[in-house]
Amino acid sequence: MNNTVVQISDANIYQGEHLVLQSVNMNLAKGEFTYLIGKTGSGKSSFLKTLYAALPLNHGQGHVVGFDLRTLNRKTVPLLRRKLGMVFQDFNLLPDRTVYDNLQFVLRATGWKDKVQIHKRIYTMLEQVDLKGQENRMPHTLSGGEQQRVVIARALLNDPAIILADEPTGNLDPDTADDILLLLRNLAQQHDTAVLFATHDYRVLQNFPARIIRCKDKRLFGEEDIIM
């Protein structure tokens, strides 16, 4: 299917020699928002790491944005990641650079050269995350919610096919977490970007319903298999 951005079949997910998830089957379509839930240590992060090739897939089949996870190499992993946006609990912003320079760094690293186009893209994304006028601030002067907005802008710079979000609201208070979740959902919808949103905060599932996939007992269960 042309609109499938993630397709995993009969996959076993490992951390080193340790089997984390087994017999994983999962599809994610373009523009689809999906929660990946489960207790800490249930395999959520390992699954996401497999999707962005931080962990190898050696058992089963996996395709992400047109790349075969079984045949990736040093040259193709960066090409895969350019089609992904990543949002983490720890913001991973460059502390010695302004908001503008953090975003510019990503664009230059992914092949952008035209200064006018870089400038335009940065200001467009800052406006979309409600940080217009904040481009010259340093990360440490921003609140946690503002830093995560910069991270979302960074994730969307190259119009990714999918955003992988690993506990992105874990360090935020409930109200700020809700704001960030809604922002991410709305922007993903505008950009027709799929989102896989890992969380163990079940409160957001009730407040902002969407498709749910659960990690439990080394398995991945779809919504139809879950009894809440």
The lowest-confidence range among 8-17, 23-32, 61-70, 217-226 is 217-226
- Indicate whether 137 belongs to any domain: no
Q: Look up the domain containing 167 and give its range.
A: 4-93+161-225
- Indicate whether 152 belongs to any domain: no
- Indicate whether 84 belongs to any domain: yes
- Indicate whether 204 belongs to any domain: yes
- Indicate whether 205 belongs to any domain: yes
Residue 225 confidence (pLDDT) above 70: no
CA distance 179 to 188: 14
Average pLDDT over residues 4-8: 96
pLDDT, mean over the chain: 92
**How many domains does the chain contain in total?**
1
**This model's pTM is above 0.95:** no
- Render pLDDT for 33-90 as a digit per residue (tens, 0 to 9): 999 999 888 999 999 999 999 999 999 999 999 999 999 999 999 999 999 999 988 8
- Indicate whether 180 belongs to any domain: yes
- Indicate whether 141 belongs to any domain: no
Nearest alpha-carbon partner for 188 in 5, 7, 2, 33: 33
- Indicate whether 170 belongs to any domain: yes
Instruction: Say which CATH number the domain at 11 has.
Output: 3.40.50.300
In terms of C-beta density within 10 A (0-12 exposed, 13-18 middle, 19 or more buried), how is residue 74 classed? exposed
Question: How confident is residue 204, by pLDDT bands cut at 50, 70 and 90?
Answer: confident
Strand order in the sheet with 4-15: 18-29, 4-15, 59-64, 67-68
